[in-house]
């Protein structure tokens, strides 16, 4: 795929071992429940929105769990992606390691149980100053209003967790790394340590632009990590914001991908790959020195239940093929498949087994 050394190579499936994929991010327990308009009004929520919790939302989390039919899922962007990668692969279990911070509380216990059920090797840093991070999904009809309270997720400490020999050994075991841009708001020094390890050892480090505010308000830590990024993910809105912040002076997505690919890079043995999704429009990716369009799987608009997990699941599918040394086209096809399955369901959930060939 590139003349130096291919990021994804031969198309021969490799034998997978435990902890080959490493993810680090903000673990959140997703709590979803059907609510009514009065509930939304009480907490000043729009029917379809994503916000960070403020003081006025504190009582919401206690109240939503009292509702009938509450569903709990292990969530948070990076954790979702590694969970989907594990689902796509099925066996062996614990192909993916996940690091992040939780509280020593009931929600933390649920999160541990959910990660275990998803066969992800989650090694959480547990502390008792902040409660486990949560994301309340308040569902009314086809709409869902998301309220995220990072809490403990914000408390990840490099020296208390990542630097410990027993944990760092798991980092060293991996050959592909994925961290969502959201984690730049928590521990950029942890991201840099992992990114440098990948670069020094010619392994693959992947990152996601995650949200427009990351490119705008966390530009400095983002650009410190960028030279170590082998594969960069994002959607069209995030790409446009990134281009504006970088002064690319173009809103053409293919041109943005090309300019992003050409940003300075530490490990010159691997040419950077940039992958931008665009919802129902073609996914844009850099292949060698070309930019190529990959059409998504056709879907009837009426079958779409919830697009919220689409980006995370695309990455999860992509990573599942990447760790098996599949070529870029296959990685993207796996990403499209996973996203197509997840948007037909509420939350980042999936059927028992994938039907992907």
- Predicted pLDDT of residue 14: 62
Q: Tell me which DSSP letter residue 159 carries.
A: I
What pLDDT, in 10s, does the model give residues 190-219? 999 999 999 999 999 999 999 888 999 999
Predicted confidence band of residue 317 (pLDDT cuts 50, 70, 90): very high
Q: Mean pLDDT across the stretch 33-44? A: 93
Rounded-to-integer distance, Cα 205 and Cα 144, Å: 33
Q: Which residues contact 346 (CB under 8 A, 6 or more apart)?
A: 32, 139, 144, 305, 306
Q: Give the pair of three-digit tokens for residue 18.
A: 């435990």
Of the chain, the end-to-end C-alpha distance in Å amounts to 22
199-233 CB burial, b ≥16 within 10 A, e <16: beeebbbbbbbbbbebbeebeebbeebbebbbbbb
Beta bridge partners of 235: 277
Tell me if 282 sits within 8 A of 295, measured CB to CB. Answer: yes
- Predicted pLDDT of residue 268: 94
Indicate the pairing of strand 134-140 with strand 49-52: unpaired
Lowest-confidence segment of 48-52, 121-125, 133-137, 186-190 by average pLDDT: 48-52
- Predicted pLDDT of residue 250: 96
Angle 80-195-122 from CA coordinates, rounded to 5°: 35
Name the average pLDDT for the chain. 90
Q: Which domains does the chain have, with CATH numbers?
A: 21-28+75-132+150-343 (3.40.1190.20)
Rounded-to-integer distance, Cα 232 and Cα 243, Å: 13
Catalytic residues: 312
What pLDDT, in 10s, does the model give residues 240-292? 999 999 999 999 999 999 999 999 999 999 999 999 999 889 999 998 889 99
- Predicted pLDDT of residue 246: 97
What distances in angstroms separate CA 23 from CA 57, 80, 182, 213, 318, one per listed residue?
A: 29, 10, 12, 21, 14
- Predicted pLDDT of residue 277: 95
| The residue to which tokens 């037909």 are assigned | 344
- Predicted pLDDT of residue 306: 65
Instruction: Say if residue 5's pLDDT is above 50.
Output: no
Instruction: Record the pTM.
Output: 0.89
What distances in angstroms separate CA 249 from CA 65, 72, 217, 252, 253, one per listed residue?
A: 47, 44, 19, 9, 11
- Predicted pLDDT of residue 1: 35
Q: Mean pLDDT across the stretch 32-46? A: 92
Instruction: Say if residue 316's pLDDT is above 80.
Output: yes
Rounded-to-integer distance, Cα 199 and Cα 222, Å: 16
Q: Which residue has the higher pLDDT, 284 or 340?
A: 284
SS3 breakdown of the chain: % helix, strand, coil, rounded to 5? 40, 25, 35
Predicted confidence band of residue 300 (pLDDT cuts 50, 70, 90): confident
What pLDDT, in 10s, does the model give residues 86-95? 999 999 999 9
- Predicted pLDDT of residue 347: 66
- Predicted pLDDT of residue 108: 95
Q: Give the pair of three-digit tokens for residue 292.
A: 């190529």
What pLDDT, in 10s, does the model give residues 141-188? 777 788 889 999 999 999 999 999 999 999 999 999 999 999 999 999
């Amino acid at each position: 795929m590139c003349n130096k050394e291919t990021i994804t190579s031969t198309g021969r499936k490799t034998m997978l071992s435990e902890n080959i994929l490493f993810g680090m991010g903000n673990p959140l327990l997703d709590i979803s429940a059907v609510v009514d308009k009065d509930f939304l009004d009480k907490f000043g929520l729009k029917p379809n929105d994503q916000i960070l919790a403020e003081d006025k939302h504190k009582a919401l989390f206690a109240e939503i769990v009292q509702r009938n039919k509450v569903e709990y899922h292990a969530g948070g962007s990076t954790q979702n992606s590694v969970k989907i990668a594990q689902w796509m692969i099925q066996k062996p279990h614990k192909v993916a390691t996940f690091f992040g911070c939780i509280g020593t509380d009931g929600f933390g216990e649920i999160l541990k149980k959910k990660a275990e059920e998803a066969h992800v090797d989650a090694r959480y840093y547990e502390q008792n100053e902040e409660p486990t991070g949560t994301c309340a999904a308040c569902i009314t009809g086809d709409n869902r209003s998301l309220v995220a309270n990072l809490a403990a997720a914000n408390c990840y400490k490099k020296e208390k967790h990542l630097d410990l020999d027993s944990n760092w050994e798991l980092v060293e075991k991996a050959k592909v790394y994925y961290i969502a841009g959201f984690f730049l708001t928590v521990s950029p020094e942890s991201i840099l340590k992992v990114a440098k390890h990948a670069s020094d050892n010619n392994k693959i480090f992947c990152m996601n632009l995650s949200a427009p505010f990351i490119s705008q308000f966390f530009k400095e830590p983002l650009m410190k990590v960028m030279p170590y990024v082998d594969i960069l993910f994002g959607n069209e809105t995030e790409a446009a914001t990134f281009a504006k912040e970088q002064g690319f002076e173009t809103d053409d997505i293919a041109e943005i991908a090309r300019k992003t690919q050409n940003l300075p890079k530490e490990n010159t043995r691997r040419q950077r790959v940039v992958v931008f999704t665009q919802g129902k429009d073609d996914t844009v990716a850099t292949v060698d020195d070309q930019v190529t369009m990959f059409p998504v799987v056709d879907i009837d608009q009426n079958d779409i239940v919830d697009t919220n997990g689409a980006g995370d699941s695309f990455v999860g599918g992509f990573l599942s093929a990447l760790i098996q040394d599949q070529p870029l086209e296959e990685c993207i096809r796996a990403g499209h498949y996973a996203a197509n399955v997840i948007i037909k369901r509420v939350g980042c959930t999936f059927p028992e087994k994938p039907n992907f060939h």
